[in-house]
Every structure is written in C-alpha cells, then in structure tokens.
Structure 1
Amino acid sequence: MMPYPENPLLLVDDEEPWLHSFALTLRQRGGINHVVKCSDSREVMPLLKRQAVDTVVVDLTMPHISGEELLKQIVHEYPNVPVIVITGMNQLDVAVGCMKAGAFDFFIKTAERERLVAGVKRAIEFNSLKHENQRLRSKMLVASPRHAAFAPIVTDDPSMFKMFDYLEAVAPSCHPVLICGESGTGKELIARAVHQLSRPQQPLVAVNVAGLDDEMFADTLFGHVAGAFTGAKSKRVGMVEQAGFGTLFLDEIGDLSLLSQIKLLRLLQEQEFLPVGSDKIRHSQARIVCATNVDLEEKIRNGRFRADLYYRLSTHQVSVPPLRRRPADLPMLLNYFVDEAADDLDRPRPAVKKELVDLLRSYSFPGNVRELQAMVYDVLSQYRSGALPLDAFREKISDTPSFVSVESFQEMPFPEQLPSLQDMAQLLVAEAMRRAQGNQRTAAALLGISQQALSKRLKKMTSS
C-alpha cells in the first residue's frame, strides 16, 4: 500500500490513548496511513527539523509547551505546513485566536470523528494543491497555450511573451536572429527556442566565439583539410558543416575580431565557406543565431564592429530584459530554483518566506537569472531545516557591488520645485532601510556605500 500522504501527518497530544485511537480512525475512515505520533510537545520542533511533514494536528492544552505556542512556532518556521488545532473545550475566543495566529482549522475533540477526519483530509488536499500550483507556476509560461519551445523559460512577464510571439512569427525565416541582453538573462535558452521553433529535427551546434583569434575562429567554424598546417594530420569537420541544415549558434559575437568578422560576413552573404587549407568551396544551409551582451552599435561607432555585419545579423533582433525589469518573475524563478536545487542536492524542499522575496526584490541582480540560481544553490547547499534563511541571502547581497542602470532613472518624476540634495539623501537612506527591513549592511549595499558611512548618516538623521 502506498503511503498517504507522501510526507507523514504529525499528531501531537499528551494523551497517548487518544493518539493511537485517532491514528486508527484516520487509517480506517480516511485512508491516511502515514502518521507520526508525538506525546511530548518539547519534541515537536526538533522532529520537524529532522523530517518533513505534510500537516500537523496539535492539541491545545499540553504540559511543557502549549498547543498555542507550538502553533506560533510552526507557522513562523514552517509557513507551508498546515496546522490543525484540537481541544476538549468549546471556547469561541480561543478558536478565533488560533485562526488569527495562522491555524488551518480548529476542532473540538468531542465532535464526530468523521468531521475531524474530513478536516485533516481537507488540509492534506489543500497542501497538495498548493505545492502542485507552485510547481506549475514555476514551469508554465502562461495559462494560454504556448509553443513547447519556450517550456524551459520560466517567466510570467508581458515583455517576454511579446518576444515569444515575435520569435514564433519569424521562425519560418532563414535569416539570422540576433539576441541581445545582459549576461545571465538566458540568451542561450532563447537561441535554443529559436532552433526548436524553426528546425527541431536538425542539429543545433553552439560555439562561444569569445577569445577565439582569427586562425582559431576559422578552424573552429570552417574546419581544415589534412596537411593544412603543421600538426593537421587528418581532416577536421568545422561547426558550420556539422550544423548542416540546422542551427549554428554563435555566442558572445560582440567579442569577435575584425578579421573574423569579415569571414563571418562572407558566410552570411554568400552562404559559402572554405575549410582551412582547401580551395574547394563548401555551401551552408544552416541558420545563424547570434547572442551578445555588449552594445554593438556603440562598438560600430568605436570602429570595433563592422556595420555591414551588424545589419546582416540584426535582420531579426530581440532584446532579453534583465531580471530587475521582470519583478513578477522573481518569485517564480526563486521557487523554480529552490525545487531544482532541492532535487539536485537531495535535500528537503525548504519553505520560502514572503520576506525573502521582498528582500530579493530590493536587489538589482547584476548577474541576472544566473546569479539568482547560483545564490539559491549555494544557500541550499548549507541548508539544514526550516525556511530558507534570510541572513544568508542578506550576506550575499551585501557582498556584491551595487549595480543600477542609468536608464532606470530616466523616467523618474520630479516635482516642480526640486528637493535639496540633503533631502534627497535622507529619502534614499529611508527607502533603502525600508527595502532592507532595517538591516544596515543590506541597505548600505543598495546605496553603494559602506556600512560605516550609512551608520553616520542615520545618526545625523536621528539627531536632526
């Protein structure tokens, strides 16, 4: 028989006969066969640290630690675990107080057993639905159907959906696609989606061209024939030929040397290339998809990128927004990476408090989605029990140099009469302290100043 629920139901009562009796009732009348019994309230919190549970049923009146105090502790440390409070006394004010404190439900022990069993099953089903909803929100793009190519991209952002619509529209085209965006925004995932939309049955070949000199670039992309240079004892098939009728993805295209840019331009214009050491022209039907995290137009103005190559590459162009412009995606990505890391590290899935989401929203994430993923994995690798610790994330945020883009301030409204610099400084300090929930180290990181400098400002503000 399969255990139900998957994680055990925890029954807490100092009356052991009632524990055994109710456990038997749950098995016989509710099919709930996965139950852990605890008769000492002092053992509850240590037990929860050792073992994940589905739901807790706790008696209100017990020696050592009361059910009311246990309720507060469990709700604080394990907010995703429903707690049902039971008591032998029918007191309305007590019931109301427990519900306000976060209890899932409240029952009188003398009530019919069917009602108690139904209440427990309702809590288990509610918890199951909540977890399923979290998983779906993490992995589903939108409620409306979208192409399966976008399934690996976790988002609920309208600008991302517009980009998906555009990519679906240009999918049949054979022209290049240029993907722009900061480091860590998921440009490679977009490139893979383009491939799945247009040529899913053909190969996808990815090359990071950053750091390739002209000779290495030619050899990597176009290959060479035997004897082309010293050490070339056999033929090498280049990445362009390996791509065949599929997709060739060139990452970090903005770092390509000018000589290599000329060779790439020939491939795009003529759809042909020469392997190193060969005089026999080869033809290519591969679609070119490129990605960059630099401003190519700026590089053109500085003479470091060819304008004609840029216009060829940017026939179809998209820009992946940074994480700081996708606030709705932060809780989805956080939950997705927590699930992913818990599975990979074989750890119980910790609770994610709303305060953690609020804290992360105050951070600019210069490394974008990749930085969030690395942050979650590192914190979870040191995780032991309870909710994800806020202090660990605060420490990581405060250790990272503050980064805010200039364009985020361009549309900031100002009153007709500008405030003084001193007033603005006080407003910024107050806002940073609010976002950091009073933590000076985090607030200092948000402001780009030292903690000592922030402390001095706060003392001046208090004295004035």
Structure 2
Amino acid sequence: MNNDDVLQTPALSVLIVDDEPGMRSFLKKALSKRFALVETAGSVEDAERLRSRCHFDLLVVDIRLPGRDGIEWNEALDPGSRRSDIIFMTGYADMETAIRALRAGAADFIMKPFHLEQMMQAVDRCLERRLLRRENLLLKREVKQSQVGDNTLIGISDAMTRVKEVIDRVAPTNSVVLIEGESGTGKELVARMLHKRSGRSGPFVPVNCGAIAPELLESELFGHVAGAFTGARSAREGLFSFASGGTIFLDEIGEMPLQMQTALLRVLEQRAIRPVGSEKETPVDVRVIAATNRELMDEVKEGRFRRDLYYRLNVLNVRIPPLRERQDDIVELVHHFTRQLASELGLKEVSWSHEDLELMTRHDWPGNIRELRNLVERCLLLGKPPVEYWRQQVTPEISSAEAGQPGYPDEMPLKEVERMHVMQVVDSQQGNKSAAARVLGVSRKTLDRKFKEWGLQE
C-alpha cells in the first residue's frame, strides 16, 4: 500500500497508549497523516475510558504500562470487542514476551527505539488488512442487495434521454443528489450509475431506510461504542464509515424517523459522524444520494419530514419517469429482461410475438419496471406468452376441472412458488409493499426480509 492509498481513508481511527509523553506526542504527529482521528492515553485506565466512547481501528500499545501491562489489558478484553488491530511496542523484549504478544492477537511487535519508517510500515500493513476486511464485508452486502445483471439504464425514449443527460451532468460532482420516482422505476440503478461515473474510489453502499427498525437505524448508519445500548457488547462501525471515499445510497428516505433526520442533517452539514454513545466525531468523505417514492414536499407540509433536510438533500435532483410515460422503451426492456432472465434461470431464450409486444406496450404498468421484469420472469418459468398469461389472470370464470389444477407447475420448488405469488400480490397493489403485506397477512418487515433474500431492491 502506498501513501496515497492510505491518505484516501479518512474514516479510520487510532489510539496510542504509552506512558511517555514524548512518545505519545511523536506518534500522534506521525499518525495524523494516516488517520482522521488520533487519540492518546498514558495508562490502561485512560485507554479504557477512550475506548468506551469511540471505536478505534488500530491500537498502538506499549507493553510496559503503569499498573496493568498492555498485553494483560488486551487479554482481558471481551473477545467480541477485539475488533481493533493492535501493534505492541516495548524496550524490554524477550522471547516469552513476544510469544505472549502474538498469542494476545498482536498484528505486529516493534522494539524500542525504532525508526519512524519501521512503525509506518507496520501501520500501513494493518490499514491494508482493515480496508480489505471492509471491502469483503461490502462485497457480501452487494451480493445480497444488488439485483443481478441490472447494471444498464435501458431506454431511448425522450423521457429516458433526459434522465441520462441529467446523470451525465450530475455524476462528476460531489454534491448531494435526490432521486425521485414511483416504486419500481429503478432508483437504485440510477444511484449506482451516478456513483460509477463520479470517479470516486470508494464503494457504493445501499441502505433501505424503510427496512431497518427505527431504533437501530442510527447505529446501522453511524456505528456505536461498547455499552451504548442493551446488547451493544462491543464497538461497531456504521455504514457511513464503510462508504468512506465512496457513496452511500439512502433509499426510501421518506421513511426515516424525524429524530434520525436531525442526525442526518448534522452529518451533511459537518461532514462528520458521531457513533451512538460516543462523544467524539469522526470526519467522513462520503457522497450522499437519497431516493424517495413519496412527494417529500407534501411530507414537509404534513410535518413528517424536516424542511431544512429536504432543501439540503434536494441540491441536485433526478426525477425518473414511470413506465407509462416511456412506452417507447417497453419493447427494448422486454428483450433485455428476456435475455437476462433466461440466462439466470437456465432457460431457453424465447421470441415474443407481435401480439405479446403490442399488448405489453398498451399496459399501464402500475408497478413500473419491477412489474415488467416479474411478468417476463413468470412467463419464462411457466412457458406461457404474456397474452395467454394475462388472459388467465383476468378471466373470472373457470371450469371446475381448471379450479382443481394447481396454479404452478408440479416441478416448481415451493420457494419459487412463494416468490412468484408474493410478487403477483405486490404487482396487484401497484408496488405498494405495505398494502401487499396486509393482503398476504404478514408484517411489512417480513415482506422486506423476503425481498432482501431474493435480491430485489427498489
């Protein structure tokens, strides 16, 4: 890792524990070039007080400390709280001490006196591992949350041409962006395109504000320190820290509780986060993109959304048209989803008849792109063209023989039947998941969990 790489990670923090004031001052000055937050302590007791208020990515600890030594302190920590890398320093090393340090989980072991370059190399190795762990966590999150294959904004209509032009103008800036559009129009896809074309080196981190319990949202976004609330046995980083150098996408921002809106406004104005239970703020370099399927100004008038936050989010605006306003794109979208889904499902790609395509261009598509994609998927799985599928859906009279037949092929797995039925109900409710949950007799949270399992996003 070179110095430029390290300097691009402003959300990292370090705690230096040494009883020599000169060493603390020397290391603080040197490590300030690598870390956004550098704290120092002269004893284990001071270090514990700092750790209770703030998460640290790295601990640089002298072994010989007043009272309890550094290794004993680290060994006494709860295993769940040992999430910080640790570099031990000592001027009195022997083989037994070195073995103890390694068994205590030391990332490195440095003898005093040392050259600054030796310390910085050890620090950089720790940072490289830390950033790699973050990337792995984000990759796992991306696999769960992103819709496979949906990485292209399809459409040649005038409405979509205007959207693409706005994306080209807005993407290179670091300003906050508000994406507006009905449910199922592809707001996350637009957010990903904005990030991809922004030139930012960090990750894209999507967050569905409506799918996280209000009491957990602040911790999820900003992190927390040990003991911040019941069950918080160890410190944890938030998604703003994971998104350092990149973009955080706050989907369904209209669902955010008022208390959290206040906290988000402070982050946008100060460019710093404060983990739950902490007294310290850490600078962050994160671009914020928010999205909503609500009319936020109406929410402001009703007192459900802060006016100052609305204007802070609405610096740059991208409004995505519903599918009924871009009928010229429907045939291209059908072909795109047919190729994509046939490949994903291991099915033979089909060619739709002129009647099928004509019927789809005339449909109103209340569920927008999501409804269209789901229809194509069902037709491929059932081996029925849209004309036949829709005819069965709208025909009120069926024979007793037909009534005894199952609605899905016998060989279809139960999980797939469940998914198709849920998506059909969501479509029938014009993409309104809260209404669909009531029809299905489940909670909205259960429905959101199912969508997450299936990799279906806004």
User: TM-score category by the smaller chain?
Assistant: 0.5 to 0.7
Distance 1:389 1:213 in 2: 38
Query: Secondary structure at the residue paired with 1:288?
Result: strand
Q: How does 1:365-444 map to 2 (within 5 A)?
A: 365-383=365-383, 388=385, 390-396=387-393
CA RMSD of aligned residues (A): 2.0
Contact 2:290 2:313 in 1 (8 A): yes
Question: Identity of paired residues, percent?
Answer: 39
Q: Is 1:275–2:272 an aligned residue pair?
A: no
Distance 1:373 1:366 in 2: 13
Contact 2:243 2:286 in 1 (8 A): yes
Q: After superposition, what is the alpha-carbon deviation per residue over 1:242-283, rounded to whole angstroms, capped at 9, x for unaligned?
A: 110110100000111111110111011111121011111111
Query: Secondary structure at the residue paired with 1:328?
Result: helix
Distance 2:212 2:151 in 1: 32
Moved over 4 A (4+): 396-403
Identify if the C-alpha distance between structure 1 residues 215 and 401 changes in structure 2 by more than 3 Å, giving closer, same or farther: closer
Partner of residue 287, structure 2: 287
Partner of residue 154, structure 1: 154
Q: Is 1:201–2:201 an aligned residue pair?
A: yes
Query: Secondary structure at the residue paired with 1:276?
Result: coil
Partner of residue 189, structure 2: 189
Q: How does 1:166-245 map to 2 (within 5 A)?
A: 166-245=166-245
Distance 1:172 1:351 in 2: 39
Contact 1:224 1:238 in 2 (8 A): yes
CA-CA distance at 1:209 after TM superposition = 0.6
Q: Is 1:337–2:337 an aligned residue pair?
A: yes
Contact 1:365 1:371 in 2 (8 A): yes
CA-CA distance at 1:396 after TM superposition = 4.3
Query: Secondary structure at the residue paired with 1:344?
Result: helix
**Residue type matched to 2:317 in 1?**
Q
Distance 2:394 2:152 in 1: 27
Q: Is 1:248–2:248 an aligned residue pair?
A: yes
Q: After superposition, what is the alpha-carbon deviation per residue over 1:153-206, rounded to whole angstroms, capped at 9, x for unaligned?
A: 111122222222222222232211000000110000000001001135311111
Distance 1:290 1:179 in 2: 6
Identify if the C-alpha distance between structure 1 residues 152 and 227 changes in structure 2 by more than 3 Å, giving closer, same or farther: same
Partner of residue 94, structure 2: none
Partner of residue 62, structure 2: none
Distance 1:396 1:245 in 2: 49
Identify if the C-alpha distance between structure 1 residues 396 and 272 changes in structure 2 by more than 3 Å, giving closer, same or farther: farther
Query: Secondary structure at the residue paired with 1:178?
Result: strand
Identify if the C-alpha distance between structure 1 residues 389 and 269 changes in structure 2 by more than 3 Å, giving closer, same or farther: closer
Q: How does 1:11-410 map to 2 (within 5 A)?
A: 152-383=152-383, 388=385, 390-396=387-393
Contact 1:212 1:256 in 2 (8 A): no
Using the TM superposition, name which of 254-263 and 199-208 deviates more.
199-208
Distance 1:269 1:200 in 2: 20
Identify if the C-alpha distance between structure 1 residues 192 and 389 changes in structure 2 by more than 3 Å, giving closer, same or farther: closer
Distance 2:209 2:390 in 1: 34
Using the TM superposition, name which of 167-176 and 248-257 deviates more.
167-176
Contact 1:363 1:397 in 2 (8 A): no
Distance 1:320 1:389 in 2: 26
Distance 1:322 1:287 in 2: 26
Using the TM superposition, name which of 253-262 and 348-357 deviates more.
348-357
Q: After superposition, what is the alpha-carbon deviation per residue over 1:65-105, rounded to whole angstroms, capped at 9, x for unaligned?
A: xxxxxxxxxxxxxxxxxxxxxxxxxxxxxxxxxxxxxxxxx
Contact 2:365 2:371 in 1 (8 A): yes
Identify if the C-alpha distance between structure 1 residues 397 and 349 changes in structure 2 by more than 3 Å, giving closer, same or farther: farther
CA-CA distance at 1:361 after TM superposition = 2.0
Identify if the C-alpha distance between structure 1 residues 367 and 164 changes in structure 2 by more than 3 Å, giving closer, same or farther: same
**Residue type matched to 2:390 in 1?**
F
Partner of residue 72, structure 1: none
Query: Secondary structure at the residue paired with 1:278?
Result: coil
Distance 2:429 2:251 in 1: 27
Distance 2:394 2:330 in 1: 15
CA-CA distance at 1:355 after TM superposition = 0.8
Distance 1:180 1:397 in 2: 32
Identify if the C-alpha distance between structure 1 residues 373 and 231 changes in structure 2 by more than 3 Å, giving closer, same or farther: same
CA-CA distance at 1:229 after TM superposition = 2.1
Contact 1:202 1:246 in 2 (8 A): yes
Identify if the C-alpha distance between structure 1 residues 322 and 243 changes in structure 2 by more than 3 Å, giving closer, same or farther: same
Distance 2:394 2:167 in 1: 34
CA-CA distance at 1:345 after TM superposition = 2.2
Distance 1:397 1:156 in 2: 31
CA-CA distance at 1:234 after TM superposition = 1.4
Distance 2:176 2:391 in 1: 42
Partner of residue 457, structure 1: none
Distance 1:192 1:402 in 2: 27
Higher relative contact order (CA 8 A, sep 6+): 2
Identify unmatched segments of 5+ residues in structure 2. 1-149, 396-423, 431-458
**Residue type matched to 1:156 in 2?**
I
Distance 1:206 1:187 in 2: 11
